[in-house]
Amino acid sequence: MFESLSDRFDGIFTRLRGKGRLSEADVDEVLREIRLALLEADVNLTVVRGMQERIRERAIGEDLSKALNPALQVKKIVLEELTATLGGETLRISYASKPPTVVLMAGLQGSGKTTNSAKLARWFKAQGRNPILVGADLQRPAAVAQLRTLAARIDVPVYSADDDVVASGTGDPVEVARGALAEARRLGRDVLICDTAGRLAIDEELMEQVRLISEELQPDYTFLVVDAMTGQDAVTVAESFHRTLELDGVILTKLDGDARGGAALSVKEVVGCPIAFASTGEQIEDFDLFHPDRLAGRILGEGDLATLIEKAEEAFEQEEAEAAATRLLEGTFTLDDFLDQMQALKKMGPLSGVLSMLPGVPKEVRDVEIEDSQIAHIEAIIRSMTPAERITPDVIDGSRRTRIAQGSGTSAAEVGQLVTQFKQMRQMMQQMGGAGRMRKKAQKKNKKGNKKGGRVTAKGPATVNKAAFALPSLEEMKSNLPGGAGLPDGFPGNG
């Protein structure tokens, strides 16, 4: 969604790197380009002007003019202002002292309220909570059925009107809300999420119905679900709902789409309530708290390692990953291990999304589209091998390649290419592991040889040369006297 904006910012900061100092004219030129980039991204004009003024105020100053690297200084200022525009801080969810904590979901028809109600329930469940879903959208019979289907996947109960009432489309959503509260308390559920009806456009009847449900439930949180693909219309919808319901936050859907992303950058300043959650895909797990600082970093090409680590922790079992890494460095990594790692990597989402979270990845690499079909081909090739072939790819000869290609719907050349690349990768990692072990061994040896202060003599008592300490005999003393004179009379031994 923010690719074009990221590309524009990348071009702006690349041109800045060549400048040693920034004059006021340079700053104005940069601000003009930033303004155009934001307007092209469909950001609200008032928001653009406010951000531009704040950046200019901070950028034109003594500190920046004396900075050794003004490009980095400007980038830091833009990053901070972009983070503030997106909401500044991640919303912290607190829970009611007397359960259940009630969450009311509102929005227009087609914005994704029902799907995101289930996604939110899954998120609460991951936090150790016991949610219950409420189907209060009785004007669209399929809404309750959809909610029950999604809830069954995450093992969360759903409360709604009787099936015949739902089918007739004449039920009372306020009565359903009242009954849901009692049911949540009876079952000991500590979070209640109420899905309400929507319309194709805002009207008085819709607003009145949502207001009555809100009065009945007295929600701790009221979230508006808006489609990021609708651009500035999403901001207008949020303003209308906020006047009636006093929203606590916005859930922004389809952030993985190809729209320009202006809604995300505008909703906080225009409406006054933060983006609470973001939906980044069609799967029920593609949903999490919205982190303004992380999104700002990704827009400016700084990556998002925090989210990448969180996704990796969810996708990979720590013990299995460590064991695989050890086998990889030892050269015992097999195609079965490779297949397991690919399966775990797929759980982290599209590979293009994973690449975009890595800092410093060149634009050319980020823009490479990796189709799921390419990964499927690799999986098919490996699954068409025998267990022995996966452990020892060296045994795969021409006839085996042909058999594997026929079983996987690929060509013998593709099979050969995969096997060759795998063997090269395994050999390279084995060399790296061997070099690491040799380096550790050498360091250990040097450490041992460089020890100071310990024993420097052989073990046991020291040997003493007794002859060196013996006194001369009388005859020797007599012979050493000058002129050969004898000892005085009466001296012992002089007879």
Express each pLDDT in 166-178 by its tens digit: 777 777 889 999 9
By mean pLDDT, which of 144-153, 218-227, 357-366, 467-476 is the weakest?
467-476
pLDDT score, position 55: 84
Boundary residue ending a domain (302, 334, 353): 302
333 and 366 both lie in a single domain? yes
Burial class (CB in 10 A: 0-12, 13-18, 19+), 433: middle
Mean pLDDT computed over 179-199: 90
Report which of residues 59 and 494 the model is more confident about: 59
Are both 105 and 62 inside the same structural domain? no
C-alpha 271/C-alpha 326 separation (Å) is 52
On whether both 63 and 119 belong to a single domain, the answer is no
Residue 464 belongs to a domain: no
331: domain CATH number? 1.10.260.30
Statement: residue 88 has pLDDT above 90:
no
> Considering the chain, what percentage of its residues have pLDDT values greater than 90?
15
* Domain closes at, from 427, 447, 473: 427
Q: Is the pLDDT of residue 360 over 70?
A: no
The whole-number pLDDT of residue 469 equals: 43
Give the three-state DSSP class for 42: coil
Q: Looking at per-residue confidence, does 428 or 68 come out higher? A: 428
Q: Is there a single domain that holds both residue 175 and residue 268?
A: yes
Residue 273 has pLDDT above 50, yes or no: yes
Q: How far apart are CA 217 and CA 185, in angstroms?
A: 13
Domain boundary among 382, 400, 427: 427
Residues 77 and 105 in one domain: no
Residue 465 lies in a domain: no
Any idea what the CATH number is for the domain that residue 52 is in?
A: 1.20.120.140
pLDDT value, residue 136: 87
* 222 and 343 both lie in a single domain: no
Provide the token pair at 216: 């009945």
Most confident by average pLDDT, 40-54, 118-132, 236-250: 118-132
Residue 406 pLDDT > 70: yes
> Of 164-173, 320-329, 460-469, where does mean pLDDT reach its minimum?
460-469
Q: What is the pLDDT of residue 220?
A: 92
Decide if pLDDT at 439 tops 60. Answer: no
- Nearest alpha carbon to residue 303 among 353, 358, 367, 350: 358
Domain ranges, residue 157: 101-302
Using pLDDT thresholds of 50, 70 and 90, give the confidence band for residue 464. very low
Tokens matching residue 448: 């041992």
* pTM as predicted: 0.63
Query: Chain centroid to CA 189: how far?
Result: 30
What b-and-e string marks burial along 182-198, b requiring 16 or more CB atoms within 10 Å of the CB? ebbeeeebbbbbbbbbb
Q: Does residue 162 surpass a pLDDT of 80?
A: yes
Better-scored residue on pLDDT, 404 or 310: 404
- pLDDT computed for residue 11 by the predictor: 76
- For residues 46 and 356, the model is more confident at 46
Which are the contacts of 360, defined by CB distance < 8 A and separation ≥ 6?
A: 303
Domain count, the chain: 3
- Say yes or no to pLDDT of 95 above 50: yes
- The reply to whether 277 and 401 lie within a common domain is no
Q: For residue 151, is it within any domain?
A: yes
Average pLDDT of every residue of the chain? 76
Three-state SS across 276-319?
A: EEEECCCCCCCEEECCHHHHHHHHCCCCCHHHHHHHHHHHCCHH
Determine which helix (DSSP H) or strand (DSSP E) holds 156, and give its type and residue range: none
Residue 469 lies in a domain: no
- Identify whether the C-beta of residue 204 lies closer than 8 Å to the C-beta of residue 239: no
Query: Which has the minimum average pLDDT: 299-303, 390-394, 424-428, 485-489?
Result: 485-489
Closest-CA residue to 223 (of 294, 119, 88)? 119
Question: Is there a single domain that holds both residue 218 and residue 338?
Answer: no
Question: Do 127 and 219 fall within a single domain?
Answer: yes
Is the Cβ–Cβ distance between 447 and 436 less than 8 Å?
no
For residue 100, say if its preceding peptide bond is cis, omega within 30 degrees of 0. yes
For residues 132 and 271, state if they share a domain: yes
Q: What percent of the chain clears pLDDT 70, i.e. is strictly above it? A: 69
DSSP label of 371: -
Q: Which pLDDT band, with edges at 50, 70 and 90, does 153 fall under?
A: very high
* Residue range 70-76: mean pLDDT, rounded: 77
**Interval 48-72 mean pLDDT:** 73
Residue 208 shares a structural domain with residue 266: yes
Residue 221 inside a domain? The answer is: yes
Same domain, 296 and 172: yes
